[in-house]
A and B are shown apart, each in its own frame.
Chain A
């Protein structure tokens, strides 16, 4: 089983619908992230969480919200989806913060969202 699991992997929805993307991890990391990938733009940070009570906006948080239900679970919601939110979404975890840790990100397989 993957260490970082995202569901759903693919989703097609309509404008105005509420969508939730879920992420769970078995790596035991405190830090979790949501990134969005668009062609030619690399990955852009939506939200990040350093622990269950510490949630922060990234560079493109407008139109999104998150919930950190537990150390291992971090969900991303689109309250009212719009077509320009069509993208590939990645959840990631990090071991940054601990002595000797590298801070590298470990990614899930991605959730492809299409908003019609």
Chain B
């Protein structure tokens, strides 16, 4: 059974600081997705990582994928309050549907 683990589950950080969210998964996969969810809202796609070594960047967020280590990271650079949200990673094993991590709730303090 595929397990997807994110850490930390909760992250409070100050504006201007850098931090990384980690996503580990237990089964071979070369497709990984990052989503953002604002409170009470739906999930919005952030990044699609489709191969080992893939790196995507959008604004202050950068995601990478190491399929050999079964690890993806979401790096936040110089955080701003607007980045406060819950971030989910999701893994595709090619068998059925995406399996999600529990989410990382990010709170950026002024």
Contacts and interface: CB of A to CB of B under 8 A. Distances in A.
Contacts of A58: 96-97
A105 B45 contact: yes
A105 B90 contact: yes
Nearest to A96: B92
B110 to A, nearest CB: 26
A91 to B, nearest CB: 10
B100 A43 contact: yes
Contacts, number: 53
Interface residues of A, number: 23
B45 A106 contact: yes
A42 interface: yes
Interface in A77-116: 90, 94, 96, 102-110
A52 interface: no
A33 B90 CA distance: 14
Q: Which 8 A-B pairs have the closest CB atoms?
A: A42-B100, A43-B100, A42-B102, A107-B42, A102-B48, A107-B43, A48-B97, A109-B42
Interface of A: 33, 35, 40-45, 48, 56, 58, 90, 94, 96, 102-110
